[in-house]
Homo-oligomer: A and B are copies of this chain.
């Protein structure tokens, strides 16, 4: 089976259309996608940024918001601009990592990721709000209190830290990114189709 790693940060704007498109496109391409949530914050910090580059560079930011609107329109995706931006993606990333590494794998992790993107970019919600995350988990039939507790365990926190370090090691500098088994790196929602063509066994 062909495989591709999908690296994303819940606060990343273009990770939203990528997350909404990847299931359908990967199924068509017969590629198994591994969801790899991580944190861009430490990677941006290493580049000298304390916030999103879209805030650091206002002209780039203005163009991105308009571009994202057009991209979502072309894809038939609803779009609401998150407030504040960027949102704090630490808690949903921890919950997602916990869900994705549960046994059996992919029990609810991927569905949770999709719903977190929807919460932020469709419903105008805040992804750092534990109640909002609990409500997503409940809708997915997950014991929210137990999952949020496990997500905040030291072992799980460490897992997210390790994943972020692994992203950095792979040369990832933004999100979404797609990485093949041999380390071929693709950056951006625009590269999803190409990355799927490069997926490897």
Contact = CB atoms under 8 A, between A and B. Distances in A.
Interface in A19-63: 47, 57, 59-60, 62-63
A67 B171 contact: no
A13 to B, nearest CB: 14
Interface stretch (A4-12, A77-85, A182-190): A182-190
B70 A174 contact: no
Given A62-B171, A171-B62, A191 B57 contact: no
Contacts of A188: 190
A187 B63 contact: yes
A63 B194 contact: no
Contact of A187 (B67, B173, B194): B67
Interface in A71-126: 74
A171 B59 CA distance: 6
A172 interface: yes
A173 B59 contact: yes
Cβ-closest 10 pairs across A and B? A59-B173, A190-B190, A60-B173, A59-B171, A63-B187, A47-B57, A63-B185, A62-B171, A63-B171, A57-B173
Interface of A: 47, 57, 59-60, 62-63, 66-67, 70, 74, 171-174, 184-188, 190-191, 194
Given A59-B172, A74-B194, 11 more contacts: A57-B173, A60-B173, A60-B174, A62-B171, A63-B171, A63-B173, A63-B185, A66-B185, A67-B186, A67-B191, A188-B190
